[in-house]
């Protein structure tokens, strides 16, 4: 740890943004294009294309270690530890945020996801409807570049995709026959990865290593797709800048962000008229809780006591199957085959509310597959190893089961009593248990995945329900949602429908923490759409918000 | 091992790791054994990276405890039995060794060649070449469903479910 020096005071900004992931990038783009002075503080640095492990023979080892998606595995200086035995929290800390290493899976939420309070009351209604967000989905897609196919009857009509779908390959043809045999919905998975030229970016060449990012820029890593545009518009991105608290003034308005330059140890106060926190569903509540003061003893923007609560990740299980037909699951975008939304809507006859989606996914390379891929089907050691490898390598596929988990008040982010980051700032502590409703849902989902495995005549099936001896359900937690949720009632939510704090009128949140519900699909498409909507609203009313 | 046991030399440790690697991945008529492609060398380096500077010694001690002697001194069946005991006695350490060895083995150029020789297009690394795949074919029944299925509930049609499932978590936020 570098000791922080005496403070400095950079020039005042119109807007300071904490976090350079999808929320910070899109907010910077919108506000900088309006001519505002935008400064974005990011605790990590840039990732150059050549930094990725894709061209190195040890790419799988790197993926398991320094390119792990889990900060508690990587333990890099820009990371902060996550104090939890309930899950393995996943994120990337650096310019681009977690879009640096995600799968860019790009489905949209469903209309009923915005009306769960009406539907069953175990989740809140959103303060607006799907139709209000739909135009912002379109704008986000135009920036991200999305591959897909129109005509999906499981979703509302939508605007055009930017490119055709990515190749489903032999895997797709094998699995589609199983779906057809069962009579279930299936459709090409929308992905923010381009299958045709778009926006000057290279077309995906199906290398299959998306989970270590994309050095080609085919995948919507916002450090490559959005940040260059935001910087060209005048936004200032300040990497290696770790924010330790948001300050407030005598009017209970945010006055700026105190941060430590991780390279020099110099502590500075970036003053601004507007503060936007976009540090993800763990980092944002952590920062608000760290910003407690005499005036805000429970943490900033937390009069509702909802900051950090209602953490959602999605219920998760993975079932893998191996067939007699070649699937070559090391080739092609890992998540770009199909999605089935056959079970996405609630049906109480199943014994649970909400629904799940099934994603057909690939399995990475030979080392990863020998080590059990996503399901833990580890190749035996000894004389049987090579026969197992011949039977399995090139013949498998995965069924990723993603369930809409309920927001539980005690599933939450607090501050750790013991762990700190490399600057001595308290780490987040996470408590997360799967609700019995969601356990029933995931068990049902696993049975349906077994149905699909049987429908393709699989000779081997492995289930990973992420239950561990002594720990219970302890999943990898990729989607960090709900911990500063938006709503219409200041007593039950942290921000209003525009991402604006109920308590601190010039403080905004633009990341996954504002989602009232998580749907049963990957959230980045929705987080970006929400950010564009909120940032544009802020832009159009900037004078009023600045004036308080 | 007892306190008065003779500390294994560095050469001993190398031989033990080599023997362990070849018990885990012995090779067959097509695939080479692990040590023949140098995977045991990467194993030692990566065990240190993963588990700390004393990791190799910990593995050697665990092996010799399971074997009752040096693993390398045993015959083939004896080595297999000893490694099985190692896996039972220290499952977490064994799992770390096995996964590290598998990653190390499958990156070896000769092993990559052996995978390719199975008739599978498999690159040394994902980039720069990637994989050539047929582009998406939208013809119904090809890469798209022959009969589109699926439905959703429009916003205005979302109503209260007629029944709810059994009670859920008691600390759920009230909404």
Question: Domain residues of chain B, as ranges?
Answer: 10-116
- Token pair 């950090």: residue: A308
Rounded CA separation A540/B3 (Å): 75
Nearest chain A CA: its distance from B2 CA (Å): 29
Question: Which residue of chain B has the CA closest to A349?
Answer: B165
Rounded CA separation A410/A408 (Å): 6
Alpha-carbon A407 to chain mean position: 17
CA dihedral sign, ordered A385, A390, A394, A399 = negative
Contacts of B39 in chain A (CB under 8 A): none
CB contact under 8 A, A385 and B122: no
- A340 sits in which H/E element: strand A338-340
The residue-averaged pLDDT of A494-499 equals 98
CA dihedral sign, ordered A284, A287, A293, A299 = positive
pTM for this predicted structure: 0.95
Rounded CA separation A527/B2 (Å): 59
- Token pair 């020096």: residue: A5
Dihedral pair phi/psi, residue A485, rounded to 5° = -70, 155
Rounded CA separation A100/A102 (Å): 6
Mean pLDDT of chain B: 91
CB contact under 8 A, A385 and B24: yes
Question: Which residue of chain A has the CA closest to B101?
Answer: A367
Rounded CA separation A276/A511 (Å): 10
CB contact under 8 A, B144 and A207: no
Question: Helices B39-51 and B91-106, interaxial angle, to 10°?
Answer: 130
CB contact under 8 A, A111 and B129: no
The residue-averaged pLDDT of A300-321 equals 98
DSSP string of B35-55, one letter each residue: GGGTHHHHHHHHHHHHH-TTH
Contacts of B85 in chain A (CB under 8 A): none
Contacts of B132 in chain A (CB under 8 A): 206
- A259 sits in which H/E element: strand A254-261
The pLDDT, as a whole number, for residue A10 is: 85
Please write the tens of the pLDDT for every residue from B99-132. 999 999 999 999 999 999 999 999 999 999 999 9
The pLDDT, as a whole number, for residue B165 is: 78
CA dihedral sign, ordered B88, B93, B99, B102 = negative
Nearest chain A CA: its distance from B34 CA (Å): 11
CB contact under 8 A, B46 and A130: no
pLDDT of A177 strictly over 60: yes
Rounded CA separation B111/A321 (Å): 24
Question: Which residue of chain B has the CA closest to A328?
Answer: B120
pLDDT band with cut points at 50, 70 and 90 for residue B5: low
Please write the tens of the pLDDT for every residue from A273-289. 999 999 999 999 999 99
The pLDDT, as a whole number, for residue B167 is: 58
CA contacts within 13 A on the Cβ side of A498: 14
Mean pLDDT of chain A: 96
Please write the tens of the pLDDT for every residue from B80-93. 999 999 999 999 99
Which of A304, A318, A395 is closest to A360 using CA atoms? Answer: A318
Six token digits for residue A53: 């492990």
Contacts of A365 in chain B (CB under 8 A): 106, 122, 126
DSSP string of A420-437, one letter each residue: E-TTSPEEEEEE----HH
Contacts of B112 in chain A (CB under 8 A): 57, 366
CB contact under 8 A, A120 and B161: yes
Nearest chain A CA: its distance from B143 CA (Å): 7
Six token digits for residue A302: 């937390």
Question: Which residue of chain A has the CA closest to B164?
Answer: A348
Alpha-carbon B37 to chain mean position: 17
pLDDT of B175 strictly over 80: no
Nearest neighbour of B102 by CB, restricted to A149, A179, A371: A371
* DSSP at A387: H
């Amino acid at each position: 740890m570098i000791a922080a020096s005496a403070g400095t005071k950079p020039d005042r900004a119109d807007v300071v943004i904490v976090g350079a992931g999808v929320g910070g990038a899109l907010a910077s783009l919108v506000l900088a294009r309006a001519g505002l002075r935008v400064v974005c503080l990011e605790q990590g640095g840039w990732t150059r294309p050549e930094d990725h492990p894709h061209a190195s023979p040890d790419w799988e080892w790197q993926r398991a270690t320094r390119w792990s998606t889990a900060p508690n595995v990587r333990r890099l200086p820009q990371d902060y530890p996550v104090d939890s035995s309930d899950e393995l929290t996943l994120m990337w800390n650096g310019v681009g945020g977690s879009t640096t290493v995600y799968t860019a899976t790009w489905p949209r939420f469903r209309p009923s996801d915005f009306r769960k309070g009406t539907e069953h009351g175990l989740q809140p209604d959103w303060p607006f409807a799907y139709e209000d967000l739909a135009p912002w989905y379109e704008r986000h897609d135009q920036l991200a570049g999305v591959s897909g196919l129109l005509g999906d009857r499981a979703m509302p009509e939508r605007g055009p995709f930017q490119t055709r779908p990515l190749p489903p390959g032999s895997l797709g043809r094998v699995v589609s026959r199983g779906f057809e045999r069962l009579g279930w919905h299936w459709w090409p998975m929308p992905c923010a990865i381009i299958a045709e030229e778009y926006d000057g970016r290279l077309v995906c060449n199906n290398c299959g290593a998306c989970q270590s990012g994309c050095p080609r820029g085919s995948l919507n890593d916002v450090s490559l797709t959005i940040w260059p545009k935001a910087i060209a518009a005048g936004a200032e991105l300040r990497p290696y800048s770790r924010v330790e608290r948001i300050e407030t003034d005598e009017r209970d308005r945010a006055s700026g962000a105190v941060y430590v330059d991780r390279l020099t140890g110099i502590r500075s106060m970036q003053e601004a008229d507007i503060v936007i926190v976009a540090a993800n569903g763990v980092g944002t509540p952590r920062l608000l809780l760290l910003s407690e003061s005499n005036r805000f003893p429970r943490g900033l923007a937390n009069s509702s006591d909802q900051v950090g609560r209602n953490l959602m990740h999605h219920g998760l299980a993975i079932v893998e199957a191996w067939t007699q037909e070649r699937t070559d699951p090391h080739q092609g975008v890992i998540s770009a085959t199909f999605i089935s939304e056959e079970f996405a809507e609630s049906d109480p006859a199943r014994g649970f509310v909400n629904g799940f989606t099934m994603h057909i996914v690939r399995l990475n390379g030979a080392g990863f597959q020998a080590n059990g891929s996503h399901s833990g089907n580890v190749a035996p050691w000894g004389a049987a190893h090579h026969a197992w490898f011949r039977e399995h390598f090139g013949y498998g596929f995965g069924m990723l089961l993603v369930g809409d988990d309920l927001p539980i008040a005690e599933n939450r982010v607090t501050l750790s009593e013991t762990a700190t980051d490399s600057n001595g700032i308290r780490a987040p502590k996470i408590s997360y248990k799967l609700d019995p409703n969601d356990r029933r849902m995931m068990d049902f989902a696993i049975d349906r995945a077994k149905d699909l495995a049987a429908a393709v005549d699989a000779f081997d099936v492995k289930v990973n329900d992420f239950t561990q001896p002594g720990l219970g359900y302890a999943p990898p937690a990729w989607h960090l949602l709900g911990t500063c949720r938006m709503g219409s009632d200041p007593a039950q939510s942290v921000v209003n429908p525009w991402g604006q704090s109920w308590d601190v009128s010039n403080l905004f949140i633009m990341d996954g923490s504002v989602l009232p519900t998580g749907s049963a699909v990957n959230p980045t498409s929705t987080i970006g759409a929400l950010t564009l909507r909120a940032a544009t609203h802020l832009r159009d009313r900037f004078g009023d918000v600045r004036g308080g | 091992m007892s306190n008065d046991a003779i500390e294994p030399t560095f050469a001993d440790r190398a031989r033990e790791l080599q023997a362990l690697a070849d018990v885990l991945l012995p090779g067959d008529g097509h695939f080479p054994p692990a040590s023949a492609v140098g995977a045991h060398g990467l194993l030692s380096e990566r065990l240190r990276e993963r588990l700390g500077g004393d990791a190799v010694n910990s593995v050697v001690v665990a092996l010799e405890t399971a074997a009752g002697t040096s693993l390398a001194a045993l015959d083939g069946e004896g080595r297999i039995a000893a490694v099985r005991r190692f896996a039972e006695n220290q499952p977490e350490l064994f799992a770390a060794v096995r996964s590290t060895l598998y990653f190390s083995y499958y990156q070896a150029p000769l092993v990559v060649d052996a995978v390719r020789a199975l008739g599978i297009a498999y690159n040394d690394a994902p980039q720069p070449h990637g994989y050539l795949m047929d582009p998406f074919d939208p013809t119904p029944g090809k890469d798209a469903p022959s009969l589109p299925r699926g439905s959703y509930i429009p916003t205005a049609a979302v109503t209260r479910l007629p029944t709810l499932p059994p009670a859920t978590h008691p600390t759920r936020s009230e909404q």
